[in-house]
Amino acid sequence: MSIQEFHVSDSYIYNRSTPLRWIVSHIMRHKWFMFAYVIGVLITNGISVFIPVLTGEAFDVVLGNETASGRSLSTIALIILAIVLVRGCSDLGGQYAMEFIAKRLERDARDELYLNLLGKSQTWHNQQRVGDLMARANNDVRELNGMMMPGFSLLFDSMSALVIPIIVIGTLNWRLLLSPIIFVVLFVLALGRYMQQLGPVSGRMRMQFGKMNATVAETVSGIEVVKINVQEVQEGSKFGRTARLYRDYFVELGVVQAWYLPPLVLGLAITIGFLHGAYMLSQGTISVGDLVAYIGLLFLLRYPTFISTFTFALVEMGFASARRILELMLQETDIDENESGRSEPMEGALEFENVSFGYDDTLILKNISFKANPGETVAIVGQTGSGKSTLTKLVNRTYDVTEGRILIDGVDLREWQLNGLRTQISAIEQDIVMFSRDVAANIGFGVGRDVTHEQIVQAAKEAQAHDFIEQFKDGYHTQVGERGVTLSGGQRQRLAIARAILTDPRILILDDATSAIDSATEDRIQTAINRVLTGRTTLLITHRLSQIRRADRVIVLEDGKILDQGTHQELLDRCVLYQRIFGKKDEATSD
């Protein structure tokens, strides 16, 4: 199993070694339906070939020629009717089975990819384009459905419709196999050339679609910036370039399909077959009925010939999508959930030992060391870009340290079971994320379905959010827009504080949690926060003196290093940077 932050222990294990094996492992999960489909197709095509054979026999009866079976026209007609009825039932059963497999493949692949994305680390997600991820999760997964139904369904159906008539032609007279054999050889060569051209174009099409989707997602998510800077024309041109390239690949695919040669080969084979059959009839080697049956069987080859241009394109598009999905799922992340690790309740003792962290050999934090005893509040201050928020993200293993280690209750973070660690650490950040759900669901997000409405209301009251929630038309059932766009900054932060209160964490991280709240509301919220902080270890990022003064210790960061640490007054007395940040404010407050 690949490194993941999260996985479902009883989830079905698929073979991801190659796209083909991955698809087959999905199909084999429903092998009885595949078996039913194969049987249905073989029955359908196996009895269909008897219709031209019986038609030829009917010609001989009408012409007065004796037939081996000695059947009358009425008997032949009844047999053909029975064949049509049986063929209809077997075809219906087979197509239902394949439709079931196709829908389940799409569903199971989407579930598998979604769980895999949940298991990727934050570092991995930071490097991805959301639009491309959505293209793979939606459109590429949907292509798997089309690959199976009608793609593979028609492909297998047509291939069996190619083989069975040729076998029956051989039973009529082996000499009649000349034209079908020539056709099969040329058909295989033409298909090989077709697939060789089709594969690369299909892959480029799916890749360009992901890029086009990513361009749309980035523009829509940043629409406010686009409009403020009057860049609509530029963004429209950018999308136009990606869309035109996708169109060009589509046209290239059409050119490849236009040069599909098997229909020409079939026309040649039927012509040769008719001439050959007519010659054998003139020689008395075959009867008129045999010739009619032979031509009818040759015309059955039209179905696999003409349908293959469509089916092979669908199958190749499906494999291109499967490769893109697998490429995503096989990318390993740097954080493992450590399922067998420590998960018992923590006291909250926190220690950084010579911790460094960075991306691509560029360190953001360097040699950070400090301790926080259970229940203590440590304020972290520094200028913009000093690494304050990054430091706090190491505590819940959003990121993993590059050097050194972080201990909780004397145990390295990496020895904790990830779920057990994160359920006891709560963070309220500047950029509050709300989901497109109602207010109650957003507050209770951190504790799942076990929370009661009364507990949600109590947490909202403690976070000073209850009053404004009650003013909404639907109260706690009011739907929140995506990312909380229907709420003000202060409302989002109060809901986030209520969410944190409800999780009852042992370690609490506040990253400018009251930055979007007015002073009057902050006083009320601070009272609730002070109660929540009691007995909990807290890392506090803020520039508000009212909060810093309550901290047991203040750490000053500069360029990713600890410049100094101590109480507020100690730092005012000796730290120049701290004096520059807070000195004047402190004097103004004291006055």
Q: pLDDT higher for 213 or 449?
A: 213
- CA atoms of 372 and 377, how far apart (whole Å): 7
pLDDT in tens, 70-91: 788 888 889 989 999 999 999 9
Categorize the per-residue pLDDT at 547 as very low, low, confident or very high, splitting at 50, 70 and 90: confident
Give the three-state DSSP class for 355: strand
Please report the pLDDT score of residue 292 as a whole number: 87
- CA atoms of 180 and 170, how far apart (whole Å): 10
Place of tokens 């950070």: 368
Please report the pLDDT score of residue 585 as a whole number: 47
Q: pLDDT higher for 584 or 180?
A: 180
- CA atoms of 517 and 529, how far apart (whole Å): 14
Q: Among candidates 353, 485, 327, which has minimal Cα distance to 413? A: 353
Please report the pLDDT score of residue 85 as a whole number: 94
Please report the pLDDT score of residue 523 as a whole number: 67
- CA atoms of 58 and 65, how far apart (whole Å): 10
Please name the CATH architecture into which domain 19-329 falls: Up-down Bundle (1.20)
User: What does the CA dihedral 368, 370, 371, 375 come to, rounded to 10 degrees?
Assistant: -90
**Tokens matching residue 233:** 């024309």
What does the longest C-alpha to C-alpha distance in the chain come to?
Answer: 124
Range with the poorest average pLDDT among 248-262, 510-524, 543-557: 510-524
How crowded is the C-beta side of 446, counted as CA atoms within 13 Å?
Answer: 24
Place of tokens 């990513």: 214
User: Which sequence spans correspond to the domains of the chain?
Assistant: 19-329, 340-424+509-515+540-563+574-591
pLDDT in tens, 418-465: 888 888 998 888 777 788 888 998 888 888 777 889 999 998 888 888
Q: Is the pLDDT of residue 331 over 80?
A: yes
Categorize the per-residue pLDDT at 590 as very low, low, confident or very high, splitting at 50, 70 and 90: very low
Amino acid making up residue 542: T
Percentage of the chain lying above the pLDDT 90 cut: 25
**Sheet-wide strand order for 403-408:** 362-372, 350-359, 403-408, 411-412
C-beta pairs of 569-575 under 8 Å, 24+ apart in sequence: none
Is residue 374 a contact partner of residue 537, using CB atoms and an 8 Å limit?
yes
DSSP for 27-70? HGGGHHHHHHHHHHHHHHHHHHTHHHHHHHHHHHHHTT---SS-
Q: Is the pLDDT of residue 587 over 60?
A: no
Q: Is the pLDDT of residue 66 over 70?
A: no
Categorize the per-residue pLDDT at 488 as very low, low, confident or very high, splitting at 50, 70 and 90: confident
State the average pLDDT for the chain.
Answer: 85
pLDDT in tens, 381-421: 988 888 898 999 999 888 889 999 999 999 999 899 888 88
Q: Is the pLDDT of residue 152 over 60?
A: yes
- CA atoms of 424 and 468, how far apart (whole Å): 29
Torsion angles phi and psi, residue 354, rounded to 5? 50, 50
Q: Is the pLDDT of residue 588 over 50?
A: no
Is residue 242 a contact partner of residue 215, using CB atoms and an 8 Å limit?
yes
Place of tokens 């990253």: 511
**Tokens matching residue 63:** 């012409």
Q: pTM here?
A: 0.74
Question: Is beta strand 537-541 parallel, antiparallel or unpaired with respect to 507-511?
Answer: parallel
**Tokens matching residue 166:** 């040729």
**Tokens matching residue 393:** 């993200």
Q: pLDDT higher for 228 or 266?
A: 266
Please name the CATH architecture into which domain 340-424+509-515+540-563+574-591 falls: 3-Layer(aba) Sandwich (3.40)
Is residue 395 a contact partner of residue 425, using CB atoms and an 8 Å limit?
yes
C-beta pairs of 81-87 under 8 Å, 24+ apart in sequence: 83/47, 83/48, 83/50, 83/51, 83/54, 84/51, 86/43, 86/47, 87/43, 87/44, 87/47, 87/48
- CA atoms of 223 and 228, how far apart (whole Å): 9
Give the C-alpha distances (Å, rounded to integers) separating 328 from 120, 221, 331. Answer: 10, 23, 6
Is residue 3 a contact partner of residue 335, using CB atoms and an 8 Å limit?
yes
Q: Among candidates 559, 561, 538, which has minimal Cα distance to 369? A: 561
pLDDT in tens, 246-296: 899 888 888 887 888 888 888 888 899 889 889 898 888 888 888 888 888
User: What does the CA dihedral 531, 537, 542, 544 come to, rounded to 10 degrees?
Assistant: 40
Q: pLDDT higher for 126 or 567?
A: 567
Please report the pLDDT score of residue 554 as a whole number: 93
Over residues 483-511, mean pLDDT: 82
Q: Which stretch of DSSP H or E encloses residue 369?
A: strand 362-372
Please report the pLDDT score of residue 197 as a whole number: 84
Question: Is beta strand 553-558 parallel, antiparallel or unpaired with respect to 377-382?
Answer: parallel
- The partner residues of 403 in beta bridges, in order of sequence, read 356
Please report the pLDDT score of residue 188 as a whole number: 86
From the centroid of its chain, how far is CA 95? 28
- CA atoms of 311 and 150, how far apart (whole Å): 7
Please report the pLDDT score of residue 1 as a whole number: 45
How would you write 278-336 as a 3-class SS string?
Answer: HHHHHCCCCCHHHHHHHHHHHHHCHHHHHHHHHHHHHHHHHHHHHHHHHHHHCCCCCCC
Is residue 187 a contact partner of residue 305, using CB atoms and an 8 Å limit?
yes
Q: How many CB atoms lie within 10 A of CB 104?
A: 17
Task: Give the contacts of 236 (CB within 8 A, at least 6 positions apart).
Answer: none
Please report the pLDDT score of residue 263 as a whole number: 85
Please report the pLDDT score of residue 437 as a whole number: 85
- CA atoms of 504 and 163, how far apart (whole Å): 68
Over residues 364-369, mean pLDDT: 93
Please report the pLDDT score of residue 353 as a whole number: 94
- CA atoms of 525 and 490, how far apart (whole Å): 11
- CA atoms of 166 and 211, how far apart (whole Å): 46
C-beta pairs of 528-534 under 8 Å, 24+ apart in sequence: 528/462, 528/463, 528/464, 528/497, 528/501, 529/497, 531/462, 532/462, 532/500, 532/501, 532/508, 533/377, 533/508, 534/375
Please report the pLDDT score of residue 105 as a whole number: 94
